[in-house]
Amino acid sequence: MQHLPRILLRPVTCLLLLVALILCNDRIHAQSTEIPLHQLAYHEADRLEILSGRLPGTYSSFVKPYAASALIPFVQQVDSQLNHQLSSVDRYTIGQLYTDFPEWLNDSTLAEKSRQPVWKHFYTSPAYLFQYKSPDLYFTINPVLLLQAGKEAHDGDFLFINTRGLEMKGRLANKIGFYSFLSDNQERPPLFVQQWIQDYKAVPGMGFYKSYKGNGVDYIHATGYISFNVTKFIDVDFGYGKNFLGDGFRSLFLSDFSNDYLYLKLNTNVWRLHYYNLFAELTSQFNPDSDYLRPKKYMALHDLSMDITRWLNVGVFESVIFSRPDHFDFQYLNPVIFYRSVEQQLGSPDKAHVGFHAKADVAHHWQFYGQFLFDELRISQFLSHDGWWGNKWAAQLGAKYINAFGISNLDLQGEMNIVRPYTYTHSDTITNYTNYNQPLADPMGANFREFIGIARYQPVPRWVLQGQLLFVQQGRDSGNVNWGSDIFKSYYTRQQDYNNRIGQGLDAKIASLNLTLSYELKYHLYLDLSYLYRKTGGVYFSYYPQANTSFVSLALRWNIARRTYDF
C-alpha cells in the first residue's frame, strides 16, 4: 500500500479513471470513429469547403483527424447544395466516403453495395473485408498491405517497404466508438533516410525498431482508441496515436511527424466556437542502444477558434511541455485555464508556447491560411532588431487554389514556413518540443526557411498525378557550436545572445522533387509509381554526399496511405 499514492499519480491511471467516469454516464450519445490521417477524404473535404465557400461549422477543419460523424453530414450538405456543380471525380470520391461510413448517412441507399459478396459474408460492402451489424455491436475488419520496391541511383541496395496488417473499427451499444490498427513492417529507405535514422536514433513517424539486414529497419506499428460523445457538443477520445493541428502541409503547432503517443482529447463544438483539449504522455529523448524504461514527459494543449463569418476562422493556441520525476501535474488538467499562468505559478520550469492561426475561404477557388507561434518573446528586444536569442517564433503562410485556371480537379498549394533559431528548445533537454527523438512540429527543427509547392491533378476518378517541390535553407550546427537548428540541445549552449538570424551557422540547402502517379485498381487498392529527386548544397552537406538521391519506386497498397520522405 505504500506505493499506492505514486501509482495513482501516474498519468495513465489518471486518464483511465477519467474514462471510467465517462463510461458511467448514462447520457452518452452515439459516437463514431475518426478518419485516419492522409486519407483522400481530407483532400476532398478541403475541396468541398472551398467550393461551397463556407466553413463546416459543426467541426473545426483545423483539428485533425476528423470524426466521420461530423464530416459525412457536411459532405452531404455540400453535395446537395452544389448538386450540378461537382465534377465526376468529386462525385466518385464522395461516393466512396458514403460507402466507407454509411452509418452516418441520412439516406443509406447512397452507400454502394457489393454486387457479388464473397461467400455471402465477405465484402458485402466494397469498403470492408467483413462487417457485422446488430443493435448492440457494429464493427468492420480490413486487411492492410503496402509492398514497395525501389532503386536509388549510385546505390546497389534494393530498397523496399513490406507492410502487412489489419484495421478494425466499430461501435459498441451505439455509445462507444473504437478503432485498432496493427501492422508488421520491414523497410529499407533511401540513404538520406538511413542517415537520418542513425543521427536521430529513430525511424521517422515510428517508435521502437530493430535493425533489419544491415541497413534496414524492422518495427511494429500499433494504434488504437476509444471515443465517446458525452453531450451533443463534446467528444472525448482516449487512445494511442497521432494528432495534427493546421490547415497546411506542415504544422508549426503539432504535426504527425513524430511517433504515436498516449492521449486524452476533448473536442467541443458549440455555436461558432471550436475548443480542443489534448493531454498526452510523450517520450523524452533517449539512447535506444540499451534497454531501460524510457523517460517520460507530458503535454497539455488547447486551441480555441471561432467562425467569425461563414468563410473566416481565427483561433488561439497554447501548449506546455512538462516533466515530473514521478507524477503528472494535475494543475494542467484544468481544460479552461491559461497554461502560461499555471506555469508561472509553478516557478516557470516548463516549456510553454502560444500561437494564433487563421483561415479564409475566398471566391469558391481559394483558401488562405496561416499560423504564428511565440516560443519566447520580449517586445522591447523584438522592436530593437538586435537579434536577441530569446526572440523565438515561427510563422506559416499558405494558399490553396482548386480547379486552378479553370481546369477541373487541378489543385495547387503553396506554403512558406519560417522558424527562428532556438525555437522549440528549452533550458533542459527533456522538455523540448519533441517526442521519441523526433520533432513534434516541423521535421526540420528550427533556424530555417522552407518553401513547399504541391500540384495535384485527378483528370478521371481512378487516376491521380501529384507533384511536390520542397526547398529548405537552414543553418546547421558546427561540431559543438549550437547555432539553434538542433531543438534537442539546451538553449544554455547557444553560441551568442545577440545578432542571431535565421540561417546562421553552416549553410545547408535542400531541394527535392517528388512525383507520384497513382491508379486505383479496385476499391482502395492502389498502384503507385513514384520518383524522388533530392539535391543538397551548402557547406554542411559537403560532409554528407549520401543526402542526395534519385529514387524510383513502385508500390502496391491496400487500405493504407503512402509512406513518404518529405524532409
Q: 328-357, pLDDT tens digit by residue?
A: 677 777 777 666 676 666 666 788 899 999
Cα distance between residue 70 and residue 57, in whole Å: 10
Core vs surface per residue 112-122: b (16+ CB within 10 A) or e: beeeeeeeeee
Cβ distance 60 to 274 under 8 Å?
yes
What percentage of the chain's residues is helix, strand, coil (to nearest 5)?
Answer: 20, 45, 35
Cα distance between residue 447 and residue 496, in whole Å: 14
126 falls within a domain: yes
Indicate which CATH number applies to the domain containing 59: 2.40.160.10
Give pLDDT, residue 22.
53
Classify the C-alpha dihedral 48-358-456-186 as positive or negative: negative
Tell me how many domains the chain contains: 1
Cα distance between residue 427 and residue 162, in whole Å: 41
Give pLDDT, residue 115.
81
296 falls within a domain: yes
In the predicted model, residues of the chain with pLDDT beneath 50 are: 1-9, 11
What 3-state class would DSSP assign to 378? coil
Q: Measured between alpha carbons, how far is residue 2 from residues 34, 443, 518, 549 in Å?
A: 41, 43, 59, 58
E-strand stretches of 158-288: 158-172, 176-188, 210-212, 216-229, 234-241, 244-245, 261-270, 273-283
- 502 DSSP assignment: T
Which residues, 6 or more positions from 178, have their beta carbon under 8 angstroms from its beta carbon?
A: 33, 139, 168, 169, 170, 171, 172, 224, 225, 226, 227
Grid cell of 555 as nine digits? 508500390
Residue 454 pairs with which residues in a beta bridge?
413, 468
409 falls within a domain: yes
Measured N-to-C along each axis, helices 40-52 and 88-100 cross at an angle, to the nearest 10 degrees, of 120
Cβ distance 456 to 465 under 8 Å?
yes
Q: Report the candidate in 555, 552, 471 with the shortest Cα–Cα distance to residue 515.
A: 552
Which alpha helices (H) appear in 38-190, and where do they start and end? Answer: 40-52, 68-82, 88-100
567 falls within a domain: no
Q: How far apart are the first and last CA of the chain?
A: 50
Grid cell of 150 as nine digits? 525501389
Give pLDDT, residue 29.
58
Residue 435 pairs with which residues in a beta bridge?
438
Cβ distance 108 to 72 under 8 Å?
no
State which residues form the domain around 546: 4-558
Give pLDDT, residue 353.
94
563 falls within a domain: no
Q: Report the candidate in 200, 270, 266 with the shortest Cα–Cα distance to residue 227.
A: 266
Cα distance between residue 67 and residue 237, in whole Å: 10
Cα distance between residue 265 and residue 277, in whole Å: 5
The residue type at 68: A
Grid cell of 34 as nine digits? 475518426
CA dihedral 42, 44, 45, 47 (to 10 degrees): 130
- 66 DSSP assignment: P
Cα distance between residue 284 and residue 228, in whole Å: 30
What 3-state class would DSSP assign to 94? helix
Give pLDDT, residue 6.
45
Give pLDDT, residue 84.
82
Q: Which CB contacts under 8 angstroms, 24+ apart, belong to 108-115? A: 110/76
Beta-carbon count within 10 A of 5 CB: 10
Grid cell of 406 as nine digits? 479553370
Q: Measured between alpha carbons, how far is residue 365 from residues 135, 161, 220, 404, 456 in Å?
A: 43, 37, 41, 8, 15
Give pLDDT, residue 327.
65
566 falls within a domain: no
The H or E element containing residue 14 is helix 11-23
What 3-state class would DSSP assign to 140? strand
Give pLDDT, residue 83.
80
